[in-house]
Structure 1
Amino acid sequence: MALGRQVLCEFWGAQGLDDEELARTALERAVEAGGATLVRLEVHRFSPWGISGIAVIAESHLALHTWPEHGYAAIDVFTCGDTDLDAMVEVMVDAYRPTWVARRAVERGSPGVAVEANGVVTKGAVANGAVANGAVANGDGTATDVIGGERNGHASARDGAHGDRVWTFEEHEPASPIRALYPVRRLLEARRTPFQSAVVFETPGLGRVLALDQIVQLTERDSFAYHEALVHPALNAHPEPRNVVIVGGGDGHTLAEVLKHDVVERVAVLELDEHVVELAKRHFERARAAFADPRVEFLPGDAFTSIGSLDFAPAVILCDLPDPLGQAARLFGSDFYRRCAEVLTDDGLVAAQTESPFWHPDTVRSCREAMAEVFPRTAVAWSVVPTYPGAWWTFTIGSKRYAPEVPARTPELDTRLYRPECHAWMFVPQPVWDGLLAPTAPPALVGQRA
């Protein structure tokens, strides 16, 4: 019989870590949410910063220790009764809004093992490294899981045979029924910007990975499949793309592809979240080198309005945007494409990532329709991006003059997927569009985004 249950949590990228009143309120609310009986509450703020707090409860304790300078907090919850530890942890997550949460659950005083993983409790003895009902055992009666601070995705971890910690990251893409699980060798950075959560981690097989709001944006292994398809069909459809604008693209990988074209003289990157740019430069060599190129200027701000303030006319605008959720949604409509057309050269064009033909067919169709309202020529390119939901991804081009499917230039490029001589191969043939993406095609495999 177990004598007690303990949950140890680590918060990264947390907020309010030097707020004594927040600590007191969070501890009180956590005790109440767990149905525990508060005996005594003590909170102390250290100088110059840092807080320690403990709620002594009739069932045992809830403790908090913060390191504001590192955006880090440690939580310890122990109970020997029927207290709802999950509810207590949820209150602490809500209070401090961490980007990344490591959680370790232990049954104390039992010869058997009770392991919690991803919210499932498995009782009974579990051998080293064994898997029981989806719970991964560490072999010492413990298991570790990590949940995203937004609670719309999570990662998990266990201690390996040699004492090394083995992490996994689970992506949650709102419109996809598939959950991708990434092995994590090392967490490089987890932070919350004013706009989103951002995580960079290393994987054994995919290299470094960037995730924003728990959605993977790129991996070093397959990023070329996305960025080459967005950039090169558009730039090669124009005879002289001397000036280019990138909307979004704070990770710098679209920029790196653009800079492969010697004809390009100037590139402006319009990215809302400058923290993503700094993070990418710290952790991705391609981004660091690209943003250091003298042809590049970074213009932080909302592209919906700033696109009209450019002091030059671009030949090509590339929209490397996250999913059309929240504020980003308006950058996928005819109003924004019209703003782009107003600043383009008389023969300019726009290319935009327009989501998966499997999980987001309505988005693909609506983006092409929106482009067609503004541009006389449109075409949809596609590529296979293994780590994106549905794997196949689309890129819609709107052009004032040139046919996107016909290359106007055939420069020698250091690319892996795109080849100028295979330019037309990148585009969706009309019969395929009719069968997969026309309004009369079968409905989406899952519900569309709200």
Structure 2
Amino acid sequence: MVKRGKDDACLPPEPWRVMAVLSVIGFLLIGGMLTSLSVYMVLMQPHFRWSETEMGAGPVALLLGMSAGNLQVSRAMRTVGVRGLFALGAGLAVCGWIAAGFTEALPSFMAAMALAGLGVGMATIVPGIAVLSQSFHRHRGLAIALFIGACALASATMPMVSGRLIEALGWRATFWFIGGAAGLVCAGLAHALPRTLCETSGGDVAPEPGLTREEVLKKPGYWLLVFVLTVSQMSLNAILFNLIAYLRHGGFDPADAVAIYSITNFMSLPGLVIGGLASDRISARILLPAILALQAAGTLALLGVGGAPLWQGRIAIALFIMLWGSVAGLPAQAGAMLLTEMIGQRAYAAMLGIIFTINGFVGALAPVAMGWAYEASRSYAVPVFCLGALTLLASFAALFCRNAPCVALTELSLETE
């Protein structure tokens, strides 16, 4: 039984159950599809004789579809409700993933990935954070961190599961198996979610405090936050979808490269728990710059991979895993918390959707841009250095994201009541 304090009086009976359901759905869709795609691509590239740039087209289509799905969250949630949104999104994701198993050419594969991405966007991060932000008051940061942590756990485990399934069944059958299993589980879990967003706050339909959409769009701090999170996501995507290829070019065999990839994703779990607990006590405008600085340091550590002597490469891998891996899931969590501090809850879902749409569209270009940069320079050193430098710049810019004065005053008045 979860103890409820006076600040949680308006919560539904079991907000942690809602968080658990959202986490399982995110686990299946993010881990089984988004972060496992690189494992499929390793075998699909030689099968279809795709170049490095063409290999990035699948992830780009998936990420673009996910960005489009993020943009539809606020409107769809008002139209079909929370339960209907997650059911629809999961259904689209499953259809796209199953269709990918019938791929015979790059255009059809990109179309399947775009459909899967659309569904993943509509049923994972943005709507999940929006529902949890409405459901939790005292432990909002921890709840969001645990939700994203479930997705990170999936990123650590599901690529290895997908790899084993591909070895046993082949990549086509694995697309069908993962898609079918995710469809069955998500269809059942969607019924455990609240019908509407109002139900997450115990039926209280009074307007939430905060800025309107029009007011938020006029705030320079909002657009600075968009820039900061977009740069971070672009760097994360470039590394995430090219890490296995990068390690293989650095002399690692495929099995070791997948293992390092999974361990790196697994390291985000303790980071998310610590970050979630800290964000309920420390302002996100302090945490976000620190998180981005660690991300930049971890990215730059990759420059030492594959070099001589051997110990240098091992230290570089260890630093990358500890630094980049431990904060890989935190920019989205800290950014979401900072957005709450800046604008309140009134237009939160819509404005969060816009942020994730913009950084999703820009970040979607990262995998193919990374492949193009490698083919142009025959090395990953230059793009990795540029990504690290840009992330460091974003860390500095995050220092200037400020709360909107009217939101700060509203929250202060609520705390004193």
TM (normalized to structure 2)?
0.24
The structure whose residues are more often strand, as a share, is: 1
Q: Which has the larger radius of gyration?
A: 1
